[in-house]
Structure 1
């Protein structure tokens, strides 16, 4: 069965290094769905942000906000949903990072702009949250060897992971599958992807958990 018949719009989310883009791409290929990618590398402020977070947090965040607003607009205007859509980001991640990285005055400005844009983002039918241990995030960031990402501290990864976890366990109010990502090696083990697909098809409530080690 095609998971996009059950959930036409799926978002895969998680901290940097969680494998969200990889999983989204695999699901798109598996079911011939449309892939909608964040394209974080297009943000010209991002390398500078990892050099000096305090100085470049606001322009980095505002660039992402406008970029995501344009992408959401594109998603709504085109017939992407005919074969299903899987994305490796959703708009709700933007305030998560804004609260994490901006000081109080900067966040007030950001919030004014966010509200002024009045972005009407479609609600995902399902969000797959890849809850990933920080040491695994660290190892994956180092392995993919993107220059500016090597400046990311373990402390910052911990703060991101905590912010994501808090959001999905307490604030997210639509369908979510929280996946223990520690043992889910979808690149090396085809059975892991199949196991996840089977778990998605068996979802019956708004918030569910998947721990592959227990299956």
Structure 2
């Protein structure tokens, strides 16, 4: 395996966790999953974003940091590790969710702790249109997600893609418009084949059959 630490990212409903599970099973890898269900502010945020955005993002950052820091203490490089989130996700969502003054404060906290973590060897980014994301969100049927507006998903998407391009991150960029990693073995095989190759920094685009 060429990569010891792989991260799968994408918008809400892109299929990150499904693909992470499948890759971890294939490579017999350690898996790191975001524990979003433990965030008590998440349902409240969708009901009242202005009031709960800051505690929501602080809670997520603290939990993600704790989880990834513990992973490093377990000796990251003794086993392939696959995560379904990038720690920088904290900053990207905060940029969309927080007013400017709160975001500047949040960014100061983020910058202090981000440098203590290990960056993944490669990022797999699942890019799906908002219509596909909404269909997946309806399908998994988490009550608090059902009223997410298209505009919010579009803003998250734009923030992700802008960050990846701006920082020239080594990225396997997958058009997940028709993705069905559970039901179509050929879709998973595209990702497995992509992970067999070496890449220069930047985005490397793949489509699914």
Classify 1:84/1:118 alpha carbon distance in 2 versus 1 (closer, same or farther; 3 Å). closer
Q: Deviation string for 1:131-165 (max 9, x for gaps)?
A: 11110001000110011111211111111111112
TM-score, normalising length: structure 2: 0.94
Match of 1:157 in 2: 153
Match of 1:197 in 2: 192
4+ residue runs over 4 A deviation: none
Classify 1:120/1:58 alpha carbon distance in 2 versus 1 (closer, same or farther; 3 Å). same
TM-score, normalising length: structure 1: 0.91
Match of 1:185 in 2: 180
Check the 8 A contact 1:27/1:86 in 2, yes or no.
Answer: yes
**Is 1:32–2:34 an aligned residue pair?**
no
Match of 1:20 in 2: 16
Unaligned runs of 5+ in 2: none
Check the 8 A contact 2:2/2:195 in 1, yes or no.
Answer: no
Q: Secondary structure at the match of 1:127?
A: strand
Unaligned runs of 5+ in 1: none
Q: Secondary structure at the match of 2:177?
A: coil
Check the 8 A contact 1:69/1:119 in 2, yes or no.
Answer: no
Q: Secondary structure at the match of 1:151?
A: coil
Q: 1:1-215 maps to which residues of 2 (within 5 A)?
A: 5-117=1-113, 119-171=115-167, 173-207=168-202, 208-213=204-209
Classify 1:117/1:194 alpha carbon distance in 2 versus 1 (closer, same or farther; 3 Å). closer
